Amino acid sequence: MTQLTRPSTQLTLAGAHTVLHAAMEKADAMGIPMCITIVDTAGHMVAYARMDGAKTMSELSSRAKAETAASSRAQTGSVTPGVDIKLGLVTGGKLTNLNAGVPIEVGGEVIGAVGVGSGTGEEDLEVALAGIAAFQAALTETAPA
Amino acid sequence: MTQLTRPSTQLTLAGAHTVLHAAMEKADAMGIPMCITIVDTAGHMVAYARMDGAKTMSELSSRAKAETAASSRAQTGSVTPGVDIKLGLVTGGKLTNLNAGVPIEVGGEVIGAVGVGSGTGEEDLEVALAGIAAFQAALTETAPA
Amino acid sequence: MTQLTRPSTQLTLAGAHTVLHAAMEKADAMGIPMCITIVDTAGHMVAYARMDGAKTMSELSSRAKAETAASSRAQTGSVTPGVDIKLGLVTGGKLTNLNAGVPIEVGGEVIGAVGVGSGTGEEDLEVALAGIAAFQAALTETAPA
Amino acid sequence: MTQLTRPSTQLTLAGAHTVLHAAMEKADAMGIPMCITIVDTAGHMVAYARMDGAKTMSELSSRAKAETAASSRAQTGSVTPGVDIKLGLVTGGKLTNLNAGVPIEVGGEVIGAVGVGSGTGEEDLEVALAGIAAFQAALTETAPA
């Protein structure tokens, strides 16, 4: 029989902060202040921090990266060049192919994403991945035996 | 221990269509073509129909009604007059106090909402509630014994 | 002689987090999940948190409240009724007269603001003021003797 | 100890006018009417002039140039081709890689920026740099011995 509902998993604010704080720690260690946005699976913002000295406009890029990763359920940066621009245009700039939007996953389900901006695409991605790694480690610790 | 995630229930397209078709049937029976929007708990559109003859702009009102009911987890229409206009302004018109936005609930959790427009507020609400009633009836039928 | 520059004080992320965490603690104690936005003196977002269960759309109201308090250098809510709507319209919804936008001040200079939303205006304001009180207390502790 | 605030320097209107008037003088001397925007470090407009005969749309380009230089704390024009378009999309057109956005600096701190448009990129930049040079000269004159 067709199901009217399906079970899913949501990211909590505590989960978002786990990603955020680890990402900030990494950015601090690299000496590069960043803008970091965490969104839920629907793309709505759960947590945000602009580290002292980060670029003001990176609020917008970090958010678009996070929203894109949540919507596509994939790390940003692999859309065919040219197509990415067209997708950016039809979404009013929400969809971006810039590096450093990374999904937050639990058991194969994407429950949110992190987006990082203010450095180079490589630096941004390193910070985003540090946030994801800390979340996965914390998940293991908090999982029932 | 702080939880990084929490379980939740999502509305499927089949669930959204259950609401939509029942609402359309009601509108047909009343002889009033309607715009009907179904959104998920995050406010993203899952299903939409503009019945033949419905007002074009009612796309916008039906959607705002659904988004408002999903965000506030309550039927639209009970915000204090005056405050509703201010909330409409800060949300770019997304939050509305017009009648006929109704949450879709399962076991006390809001998993989406329906918004209806093109008739009077009373007619719109009657159509929305018909959709909700059909969903609740179908839930009971599909629930495990 | 006319001065080309003037000294000023900026809010750090640590300062913003002091406000944010105290506000969250208050909202937790009240049992009302909130959306909390901290902006700098220019109205740019420095930190944001959506507590679990807060209304999605309160992201927008909490931000507009913070931006308005930073821009006007005054607590929101005292604009003449009617005028507030006109100001909301010309600013594209950025200026709001809703309660619970409160400036962050140091020595009489406004260096940012906090905006809170998802409860009633009175509840929102109580949470905002708890954030401000914690910041002022922390300032005293960190001030040189 | 973590600091809740940090000292900074702000651009005054007198400082902005020093840039603006020198830039206009240069544009006059070149016989090319320009649109000239001065923003503070947050990207908010402090002063603007559209010289008689300048292109109307250059209001937008001069402003985006200034905002970009202020946000990135660097002269516009050096973002990798391709990346610049993506950054333009996610910022709603605010971030631009067009020439002639130049930061206004004091003692190594960016306190604002000037953006110029209506000529070629080279002409625009020449006018912007004339404004900056005049500001630096005036700073030296007004500095305490």
Average pLDDT, chain A: 96
Please report, in angstroms and rounded to a whole number, the separation of the first and last CA atoms in chain B. 34
pLDDT digits over A77-112, tens only?
999 999 999 999 999 999 999 999 999 999 999 999
CA distance B29 to C22: 55
**For chain A, what percent of residues have pLDDT higher than 90?**
95
| pLDDT reading at B12 higher than 90 | yes
Give the number of other Cβ atoms within 10 Å of residue A17's Cβ.
18
Summarised one tens digit per residue, pLDDT across range B78-94 is 999 999 999 999 999 99
Token pair recorded at residue D121: 């990129």
Chains that touch D (3 or more CB pairs under 8 A): A, C
**Residue D142 confidence (pLDDT):** 74
Q: Which two tokens stand for residue A134?
A: 């800390």
- CATH assignment, C13-137: 3.30.450.150
Q: Rg for chain B (alpha carbons), in Å?
A: 15
Mutation choice for D interface testing from C1, C2, C5, C141 by most D CBs within 10 A: C5
The dihedral sign for the CA sequence B121, B122, B126, B132: positive
The pLDDT > 70 percentage for chain B reads: 97
Taking the C-alpha atoms of residue A2 and residue B14, their distance in angstroms, rounded to an integer, is 7
Over residues D47-71, mean pLDDT: 98
**Contact between chains at A85 and D89 (C-beta distance less than 8 A):** yes
CATH superfamily of the domain spanning B13-140: Haem-degrading domain (3.30.450.150)
Chain B residues contacting C via beta carbons under 8 Å? 6, 42-43, 67-68, 70-73, 82-83, 85-87, 89-92, 94-95
Residues with Cβ < 8 Å from B77, sequence gap 6 or more?
B97, B98, B99, B100, B101, B121
Contact residues, chain A, for D103 at CB < 8 Å: none
Name the percent of chain A in helix, strand, coil, to the closest 5: 45, 25, 35
User: Do residue A2 and residue B10 have CB atoms under 8 angstroms apart?
Assistant: no
pLDDT digits (tens, 9 = 90+) for B92-109: 999 999 999 999 999 999
Run of H or E residues at D45: strand D45-50
Which residue type does B117 have? G
Give me the CATH code for the D13-139 domain, please.
3.30.450.150
Structure confidence at residue D99 (pLDDT): 97
D134 falls in which pLDDT band (50, 70, 90)? very high
By Cβ distance, the residue of B73, B82, B92 closest to C93 is B92
ipTM of the complex, rounded to two decimals: 0.94
Looking at the partner chain, which of A1, A3, A15 has a beta carbon nearest the beta carbon of B4? A15
What was the pLDDT predicted at B2?
Answer: 82
pTM (global) more than 0.90: yes
Q: Give me the pLDDT at residue A92, please.
A: 95
Query: What pLDDT score does C27 carry?
Result: 98
